[in-house]
Chain A
Amino acid sequence: MTTPVEAAESEEADPKTRTVCLVGMPNSGKTTLMNALTGGHFHTANYPGVTVSLLQGRSRKEWGPPMTLVDLPGVHSAVNPSPEEELSCEVIESRHSSVRADRFVLVVDATQLERHLKFAGFVARQGKPIVVALTMMDLLPRVGAQVDAAGLSRKLGVPVVAVDARHGEGVPELVSALQDAAGPPAGSSALATLGEQPAEAYRQVRTLLGDSDTLVQPEGLAVLVERDSLTARVDRIAMHRYLGFPIFLAVLIGLFASIFWFATPFMDAVDAAFAVSGDFVTGVFPDSMVAAFVAEGLIGGVGAVAVFLPQIIILFFLMTLLEDSGYLARGATLVDRPLSALGLHGRSFVPMLSGFACAIPAVFASRSIPTLRERLLTIWIIPLMSCSARLPVYALLLAALMSDVFRQGLALAAIYIASLLIGSMSAGVIGRFAFPDRAPSLLAMELPVYRIPRWKVILRMTWSRSSSYLRKAGMPIVVVAIVLWLLSSFGLGSAQPRFADTTAAPLVVPAEMDYSLAAQLGQATEPVLTPMGVDWRVGVGLISAFAAREVFVSAMAIVFHVEGEDEAVQSEGLLETMRTATFAGTDEPIFTPASIIGLIVFFFFSLQCISTVAVVRKETNSWRFAAVQLLFYTGLGYGAAVATVQGLRWFGVA
């Protein structure tokens, strides 16, 4: 595939390498149009240095030489832009280093011509060829208006094509207009000569459109309700004084329930599939070190990533669904008051919620927060949200702590609620001290009209977001899993009992877990672990958990020599072993109520996830932020765990 840089250089030589960028305000129907232009074949583009995900595809062949199409994030305003908006502005103004556009499709909502054409002026000013795609034509009757594309084209001085992207009408015409647009650039059109001052530009747009100065009759709200009765009716309930929050809560609970219960059978299936393929490899080559590496290191590592995929896909699907229907903006509006009191933003609720599934998509989701301070603060508290990788760990520890299943459930619920409360509180505290400057903060969020969800687009977006998660989060997890496997499968030759009598021990040899490098690392950390009331074997589990927290369970099974075909048998056996485990050479039990609660507290705070650190580094573009976050939370987790264990002992709890 040609890169956009090359495309810009050879632009007139070969129309096939032309890059066309779709730009417009949010909710203008860009993604639906992208779907229609590419016939549904688009993917997340990979541009160097671009963290915002861009959709890229090629126009369908039957409409002439295919062009490369890039869907840029929607822009409300080029004034004081959010990170997403900033990227689009850079591309529009040809300031971006890797994404270059040869021409633009300006996606304009026909029901909101004024605001969208005002933005169109900004794009036309850059002097590149543009074609205006008029969308939402089917909604015009709902607002009682009519728009004539040909007339508009004459007034604006640029080609205007009415499209109905859902049914594909007007899309071939749009493509041929794009191919013809090589001639005069938009620089001299009426659109491009709009003023740069908002007030002036809006006045000029209105003059162009031939409206009188008073677009809305001051007859009261009746006019407005008439404009879109469906949205008004739904909002009366969705933002109702007493019903608003119960409905929001019901939506959140529904979301949670789907993420956890609906995903469980799929997660079990993925888990089983990886276990079976691992066993198959070791079964075929029973004594091969390479086979063991492939089965346990490689397949196990990939499995650790893949097991979360069902949850991530369901999360992305439901989030895209809520976003597309128009409810997400309402939810963000409802909770803006409490969140902004903490120094966060109404939109922070999406990352916080996603954080309960996985911190990585949550960090991605924070991109839509327009102001830097609120965005960084949101990213700061995401690791406190109880992600689903902690669930197997809590399940094991709570089962070891108490036998009553109902009480285990209550305790788990308490942990989840505590993570939300402590996360919010820490935003309030940290925001006041660590991010003290009252940087610009603005809600001013558009509430789009409610629409029937566009399933095709939602499914496409879900797929492209999920595969982007796999690529960005997958690598670190697999690498860490492989490193940990190597550490636990090899040991220093001098440390092996079988070489104890010889002086010519090889430096590194395959080793049993007890004599491996991981065990030695664990033993080295034992002085640090003693205050937490655990021994080096738990330390190995804690170190392994940096690949992904749930690895703690399987690592513990390995260090405590628990055999088991699948997870259920394994954790039964592990529980049994944990009840009888004692510190080496004594009969003092390791897993006492105090030490188990200490471990729960440790997992509650500690940032044990290399992938999260890597993603935070990328999104904040700051090693310092990521490193401080890692050290702060892991240090806090350790401190809190030690305080808990010692405190409980002081109160007489063993």
Chain B
Amino acid sequence: MTLSNVAVAEWHRIHRLEGPDTECNRLQDLGFTPGEPVAVVRATPLGDPLVVVVRGTQLALRKREASWIVVE
């Protein structure tokens, strides 16, 4: 399961990042590290991007980017 297809307002733990290296490195640097709880707060009106919360910060992630974040 990836962050792009979890239900809204549900906490998940990040399992690993699976995507292009540079982008995934930056995502990790921004706080998306394995073991960390994440949740999708809301979808935007067009369904993409998603508003995601990690380490107490809200970030807008494109669905494509969220799909690189594999959650448990």
Q: Spell out A's residues near B (CB within 8 Å).
A: 76-80, 111-112, 114-115, 118, 143, 198-199, 202, 213-216, 218, 220-221, 224, 227, 231, 235-236, 239-242, 244-245, 329, 332-334, 336-338, 340, 346, 440, 442-447
Contact = CB atoms under 8 A, between A and B. Distances in A.
Given A220-B11, A337-B49, A443-B62, A77 B57 contact: no
Contacts of B57: 112, 115, 446
B45 A241 contact: yes
A570 to B, nearest CB: 48
Q: Count chain B CB atoms within 10 A of each CB in A111, A202, A214 and give the residue with the most.
A: A202
A221 B39 contact: yes
- A interface majority secondary structure: helix
B69 to A, nearest CB: 11
B71 to A, nearest CB: 12
B5 interface: no
A220 B9 contact: yes
Interface of B: 8-11, 20, 22-23, 25-31, 33-37, 39, 41-42, 44-49, 51, 53, 55-62, 65
Given A77-B30, A198-B29, A447-B60, A244 B44 contact: yes
Contacts of A224: 39, 41, 53
Contacts of B20: 440
A203 to B, nearest CB: 8
B65 A447 contact: no
B28 A329 contact: no
A386 to B, nearest CB: 26
Nearest to A441: B23
Nearest to A227: B56
B22 A221 contact: no
B49 A220 contact: no
A77 B48 contact: no
B22 A337 contact: no
Given A239-B45, A333-B44, A199 B28 contact: yes
Contact of A202 (B10, B33, B58): B33
A198 B28 contact: yes
B57 to A, nearest CB: 6
A79 B26 contact: yes
Given A198-B29, A340-B62, A440-B20, A221 B9 contact: yes
Contact of B60 (A78, A114, A440, A445): A445
A442 B39 CA distance: 19
A214 B28 contact: no
A206 B44 CA distance: 31
A444 B45 contact: no
User: Which 3 A-B pairs rank lowest in CB-CB distance, beginning with the nearest?
Assistant: A221-B9, A77-B29, A333-B60
Contact of B31 (A202, A241, A445): A202
B56 A442 contact: no
Contacts of A244: 44-45
A235 to B, nearest CB: 7
B44 A114 contact: no
B52 to A, nearest CB: 9
Given A218-B37, A220-B10, A220-B11, A336 B42 contact: no
Nearest to A231: B58
A115 B28 CA distance: 11
